[in-house]
Amino acid sequence: MEWYKDYPHIGYDLEVSLLVFITFSVRSQDIRNTVGNIPMEWYKDYPHIGYDLEGKKIFKPIRNKDELDEFLDKMENPDYWRTVQDKMTGADIRLSDEQVDLVHRLQQGKFGDVNFNEYEPAIDFFSNEVMIHPVTNRPQDKRSFIPSLIEKEKVGKLVHAIKMGWIKPRRPKETTPQYYDLWAKEDPNSILGRHKMHVPAPKMKLPGHEESYNPPPEYLLSEEERLAWEQQDPEYRKLSFLPQKFACLRAVPAYSRFIHERFERCLDLYLCPRQRKMRVNVNPEDLIPKLPKPKDLQPFPTTQSLVYRGHSSLVRSISVSPSGQWLVSGSDDCTVRFWEVSTARCLKTVEVGGAVKGVAWNPNPSICLVAVSYDDTVVLLNPGLGDRLVCTATDQLISSYEEPEEVMDQSVQWAVAEGEGHEQGHRLILKHPKTVRQVTWHGKGDYLACVMPDNGSSLQVVIHQVSKRRTQNPFRKNKGLVQCVSFHPIRPYFFVATQRYVRVYNLIKQELTKKLMANCKWISSMAIHPGGDNVICGSYDCRLAWFDLDLSTKPYKVLRHHKKALRSVAYHRHYPLFASGSDDGSVIVCHGMVYNDLLQNPLIVPVKVLKGHTITHDLGVLDVTFHPTQPWVFSSGADGTVRLFT
Amino acid sequence: MSQVQARFFTENKKYLIDDVPFSIPAASEVADLSGVINKLLEAKNDGHKHVEFDFLVRGQFLRTSLASHMEKENISTEEVVEIEYVEKFTAPQPEECIMHDDWISSVEADSEWILTGSYDKTARIWSMEGKAVMTVAGHTDVVKDVAWVKRSENLQTGSLVVNDASLLLTASLDQTIMLWEWNSERNKVEARHCCRGHAGSVDTVAVDPTRTKVCVLPTVEEDEIEEPNRPRKKQKTEQMGLTRTPLMTFSGHNEAVSSVLWMDAEELCSASWDHTIRLWDAETGEQKSTLTGSKVFNSISYSPLCRRLASGSTDRHVRLWDPRSKDGSLVLLSLTSHNGWVTAVRWSPSHEHQLVSGSLDNVVKLWDTRSCKAPLYDLAAHEDKILCVDWTENGLILSGGADNKLYTYRYSTCVSDAGA
């Protein structure tokens, strides 16, 4: 520290100025604070600030200046700027001119001493020049001229590592410069990315033989071809020039259309639509709705098993007995035949007076009656098949009828068959005013509905009650031409299908409940699901419409599987199956599952096309009906046969 | 694989050869193997005549080349293959063609007489030569099934002792079964009983092995058993003799019962359109077990030799069942070759592997259960649906159908093989 003995200061601190002040204060007043180098705020709550050499308290000078006094002091005292407070004693000290100058010098980064020359010439003692009197004259170390053992050891280790392959010397340098790909992560579909899309220009066709100055003769156009070429529109010409033959290349003139063609190509490239067609690759199979495989929906009829031959004309209508043992068929050859289902044996043939339009077996197993309609007559037949007791009970039921006292005036005449007809099985004969097209039974087997299509007439549908031999006309007037009718299997509803609509009537309240719009031109047939909430309609314009009565009055689904007009539709009583017969000679069996859950829509899957009937007079299948217990379907055709598919 | 090590053996003492393994070409078929055996037999004894053989590899008839058969059956070609050879079954020889007036619904034959039921409401008795012996007329509707009850022996009924009389049953669509007594010497037939009680047509009858009980089946949901020799109720009817009522009624089937048979004296079995075969205890009338199929059963047959049931159903297959299995629906084997409903099946009474089946595709097929892929022989004589087949103890196969013809075939299984 004696280096500093000539200086007023004894070194430098971060707070250079403060140290200087301390030494100043020490010199001038010799008030020594003996607390040492401690943070002075320890004393901030005491009246004193430390202790002097004698051990007496150094009291803090009284400071009662407030902000205003400070401000006034600042404004009025010309030495305010050079007055600092001694932290050790708390006294105010006014800096002298010298001290201020020193502070300025130090602030500027200069030496404190004014006389100090920092640029004195330096003497280089340890230079490369060998002096005759060196600074040190020690002899050279041995290690300075023999190879280092430590280095040898280190090199040996490196060599060993290289030999062992732990270190690979001379790794091949990356010759290709590495650049950062600025656009690597950019989306090519973004607006900027689209500009980068490169559409290569179409390549020009290479010149062929016809462009040659000396083409082979077959490339030269004959006179006719040349004429044809000239008459052709320039756009449709195969070649845009005429191949010509020259004796030598020198004789070839300049191509007159060169610039024109260049220009056209440039124009083409310029006007080329720089747009890529974004084609979506959709697997066509994904667009088809997922339906279960027909294999999983078994059982359903798949093959033709039996053919019931015997009729000589088209078989218009068939019906199966409730037990499933017998089948009845009515044909245009004026006969009704009864068949044994399991063997295709015709057990009985009943002749009637006209072409049979409809047959219907009574669905009540305790009554053995078949309703047959021909011309304007409906005959109730007792075939005498099945249980003898049931047959005799049916006969007794019919003969036990007693004429009521007051005779009602009915539009339909009831008569009891007698004589030869009775022996054949005829029991009751109902004479209608018009031709009867369809007969259908109510599920209980007492009511029988008949359809007499006649446009604009009020008498198109009649309902008979067999036990009381009564006939009623349920409708005061009919809109449209009635095609077919059906009873609801459970509830007292009655379905009437006209050409375009199906109307559902409540028979008890005697009102129209629903009107189903079939969206087709001409309804041909109708079937009611055994649950009663679904209806299918076949139409002459090749459509089959499925109605869900809970869902809507519009078809839930329309199936267009047939190629020609549908003639008949039918539901199975137990299995989730329905079938449709068409003029194209095929029967299509569909799986139609109806769920009890109201939220789940019916599942409709076509499962099988059954072919077998030959098309006669443009008519194929005329009627289809299901076996009551087995998944078998019967179909009758214009070829005079009834076929069983199992 | 060009050569296979094979060892031939047979049960027939007549055709024994040395028990040494041979190396034979793998591509060889039945004819080649038959030639090999014949060569060996000729070398052994000079008087040997050429015999066609059939070959069994692990119980299955060889129908293709040996190599493909072994590949299909997963038989190792490394080891010596054991091949059994049997004399080839000769084709059934057609014997008679008996013309009827109408469709033949049923046939049952024994060693002497053939009984047929027909759709012309009669049953007929024919001699083996095809001569009409007797017409049994009395039903008012189609005769659906016929059965012999007793043949030409002394009849030990409680009160009646009739000499030299046969008893036969006819079941008809008119809901009755009639028991007839036929005196073959005097050639007179007499209705003895008329069994009523069915609420539908009677489609099938079966007589139990002791020939005392009859099981009859209607097409409504019950089967009934009647005991003709101990009538519970005797009643004179106009001209029908005595009327019987059922001894016991088995209820359980939901639909028409198509076929019924006695497995033994205590157990009977019925097949129905409700896709089940049910086994019943004849004493108590309880149902013992049920075999459930997936299609309507048209016909069943039981072989006491192999204790298997064969069923013909509407899906073209003949299926074999084990009636003793308790869990119900186990099909052991299905024989598929027909193109239509199988309407009739019948086991061979003398051979445990063979059965005959008739179908709506007009073909009668003779099957061996050891070759389930293809039938042994197709008998394609009929021109229309086949409705019934039968097989007698003395090797006569009969089939009748909707072409009004009853064909008989003589089929002799080899004596040596019959007991195998």
pLDDT, tens digit, for every residue of A380-389? 888 877 777 7
- CA dist A273 → A195, A276, A334, A481 (Å): 13, 9, 75, 61
Residues B26, B42, single domain; the answer is yes
Is the residue at B259 inside a domain? Answer: yes
Task: Pick the more confident residue, A190 or A520.
Answer: A520
- Tell me the mean pLDDT in the region B191-200: 75
Q: Which of A95-109, A111-125, A544-558, B49-63 has the lowest mean pLDDT?
A: B49-63
Using the Cβ of A387 and the Cβ atoms of chain B, whether some distance falls under 8 Å is answered with yes
- How would you classify the pairing of strands A544-548 and A557-559? antiparallel
Residues in chain B within 8 Å Cβ distance of A308: none
Among A344, A347, A630, beta carbon nearest to B273: A630
State which amino acid sits at residue B127. S
- Tell me the mean pLDDT in the region A497-511: 86
SS3 content of chain B, % helix, strand, coil (to 5): 5, 50, 45
Among A306, A347, A387, beta carbon nearest to B200: A387
Q: State yes or no: pLDDT of A51 exceeds 70.
A: yes
Residues in chain A within 8 Å Cβ distance of B200: 323, 325, 386-387
Task: Pick the more confident residue, A151 or A44.
Answer: A151
- Nearest C-alpha in A relative to B219: A325
Q: Which domains are delineated in chain A?
A: 191-271 (no CATH), 299-309+483-645 (2.130.10.10), 314-402+409-478 (2.130.10.10)
Among B200, B314, B360, beta carbon nearest to A386: B200
Q: Do B119 and A305 touch (CB under 8 A)?
A: no
A299 Cα to chain B: minimum distance (Å):
9
Among A306, A323, A325, beta carbon nearest to B360: A306
State which amino acid sits at residue A137. N
Residues B383, B264, single domain; the answer is yes
Using the Cβ of A29 and the Cβ atoms of chain B, whether some distance falls under 8 Å is answered with no
Using the Cβ of A112 and the Cβ atoms of chain B, whether some distance falls under 8 Å is answered with no
Q: Are A455 and A462 in contact (CB under 8 A)?
A: no
Is the residue at B233 inside a domain? Answer: no
Domain ends where: B54, B70, B87?
A: B87
CATH of the domain at B182: 2.130.10.10
| Residue count of chain B | 420
The set of residues, in sequence order, having a beta carbon less than 8 Å from that of A537 and lying 6+ positions away, is A497, A502, A516, A518, A520, A523, A525, A526, A544, A545, A547, A555, A569
Q: What is the pLDDT of residue A86?
A: 80
Residues in chain A within 8 Å Cβ distance of B220: 323, 387
Is the residue at B373 inside a domain? Answer: yes
Using the Cβ of A342 and the Cβ atoms of chain B, whether some distance falls under 8 Å is answered with yes
- CA dist A279 → A282, B76, B242 (Å): 9, 56, 89
Question: How large is the angle between the packed helices A16-29 and A97-107, nearest 10 degrees?
Answer: 160
Name the phi and psi angles at B126, rounded to 5: -125, 150
* Nearest residue to B176 (alpha-carbon basis) of B193, B203, B199, B194: B194
Interface of A with B in 270-329 (CB under 8 A): 299, 305-306, 323-325
User: What is the number of other CB atoms lying within 10 angstroms of the CB of residue A609?
Assistant: 12
For residue A301, give both structure tokens: 């009829």
CATH of the domain at B46: 3.10.20.90
Residues B344, B246, single domain; the answer is yes
Q: What is the pLDDT of residue B210?
A: 59
Is the residue at B47 inside a domain? Answer: yes
Using the Cβ of B272 and the Cβ atoms of chain A, whether some distance falls under 8 Å is answered with no
- Tell me the mean pLDDT in the region B157-168: 56
Using the Cβ of B297 and the Cβ atoms of chain A, whether some distance falls under 8 Å is answered with no
Burial class of residue B343 in the structure, from the number of CB atoms within 10 Å of its CB (0-12 exposed, 13-18 middle, 19+ buried) = buried
- Tell me the mean pLDDT in the region B282-308: 82
Q: What is the pLDDT of residue B238?
A: 32
DSSP string, B27-73: T--HHHHHHHHHHHHHHH-TTPPP--EEEEETTEE--S-HHHHHHHH
CA distance A644 to B20: 58
What does DSSP assign to residue A619? Answer: B
Range of the domain at B195: 93-153+164-221+239-410
A295 Cα to chain B: minimum distance (Å):
14
Among A344, A345, A388, beta carbon nearest to B175: A388
Using the Cβ of A343 and the Cβ atoms of chain B, whether some distance falls under 8 Å is answered with yes
The set of residues, in sequence order, having a beta carbon less than 8 Å from that of A308 and lying 6+ positions away, is A327, A329, A337, A339, A344, A346, A641, A642, A643, A644
B312 Cα to chain A: minimum distance (Å):
14
Residues in chain A within 8 Å Cβ distance of B294: 299
> Which helix (H) or strand (E) covers residue B175, if one does?
none
Q: What is the pLDDT of residue B138?
A: 80
- β partners of residue B145: B171
Is the residue at B419 inside a domain? Answer: no
Look up the pTM and report it: 0.67
What does DSSP assign to residue A487? Answer: E
pLDDT band at B15 (very low <50, low <70, confident <90, very high): confident
Domain ends where: B52, B87, B122?
A: B87
Q: Do B103 and A387 touch (CB under 8 A)?
A: no
CA distance A248 to A234: 29
Residues B60, B137, single domain; the answer is no
Using the Cβ of A455 and the Cβ atoms of chain B, whether some distance falls under 8 Å is answered with no
Q: Are B388 and B107 in contact (CB under 8 A)?
A: yes
- Tens of pLDDT, residue by residue over A108-119, are 988 888 888 888
pLDDT band at A162 (very low <50, low <70, confident <90, very high): very high
- Tens of pLDDT, residue by residue over A607-644, are 889 888 888 888 888 899 998 888 889 999 888 889 98
Domain count, chain B: 2
DSSP string, A94-154: EPPHHHHHHHHHHHTT--S-TT--TTPPPP-SS-SSPPSS-S--PPPPGGGTS--HHHHHH
Domain ends where: B54, B87, B120?
A: B87
Residues B291, B392, single domain; the answer is yes
- Nearest C-alpha in B relative to A304: B340
For residue B38, give both structure tokens: 């014949």
Name the phi and psi angles at B147, rounded to 5: -160, 145
Task: State how far Cα A627 lies from the chain centre.
Answer: 41
Q: State yes or no: pLDDT of B329 exceeds 60.
A: no
Q: What is the pLDDT of residue B155?
A: 42
Q: State yes or no: pLDDT of A126 exceeds 60.
A: yes
What does DSSP assign to residue B236? Answer: B
pLDDT band at A406 (very low <50, low <70, confident <90, very high): low
Residues B53, B116, single domain; the answer is no
Instruction: Return the percentage of chain B with pLDDT > 70, whole number.
Output: 83
Q: Do A389 and B199 touch (CB under 8 A)?
A: yes
pLDDT band at B372 (very low <50, low <70, confident <90, very high): confident
Residues B285, B338, single domain; the answer is yes
Residues B74, B110, single domain; the answer is no
A307 Cα to chain B: minimum distance (Å):
11
Compute and round to an integer the Cα radius of gyration of chain B: 24
How much is the mean pLDDT over chain A? 83
Instruction: Return the percentage of chain A with pLDDT > 90, whole number.
Output: 10
Q: Do A345 and B273 touch (CB under 8 A)?
A: no
Task: Pick the more confident residue, B21 or A190.
Answer: B21
Q: Tell me the range of A468-477, A563-572, B92-101, B258-267 where mean pLDDT is highest.
A: A563-572
Compute and round to an integer the Cα radius of gyration of chain A: 60
Q: Do A388 and B385 touch (CB under 8 A)?
A: no
Q: What is the pLDDT of residue A156?
A: 95
Q: Do B341 and A389 touch (CB under 8 A)?
A: no
Residues B271, B359, single domain; the answer is yes
Residues B314, B356, single domain; the answer is yes
Residues B38, B116, single domain; the answer is no
State which amino acid sits at residue B357. S
Residues B98, B200, single domain; the answer is yes
DSSP string, A341-354: TTTTEEEEEEE-SS
- Nearest C-alpha in A relative to B201: A386
Is the residue at B230 inside a domain? Answer: no
CA distance B41 to A36: 136
Q: Are B146 and B119 in contact (CB under 8 A)?
A: no
Q: State yes or no: pLDDT of A48 exceeds 50.
A: yes
Q: Tell me the range of A159-173, A177-191, B138-152, B197-211 where mean pLDDT is highest.
A: A159-173
The set of residues, in sequence order, having a beta carbon less than 8 Å from that of A310 and lying 6+ positions away, is A337, A346, A349
For residues B279-290, one letter each, b for 16 or more C-beta atoms within 10 angstroms of the residue's C-beta and e for the rest, the string is bbebeeeeebee
Q: State yes or no: pLDDT of B236 exceeds 60.
A: no
Mutate to test the interface with A, among B254, B273, B275 (most CBs of A within 10 A): B273
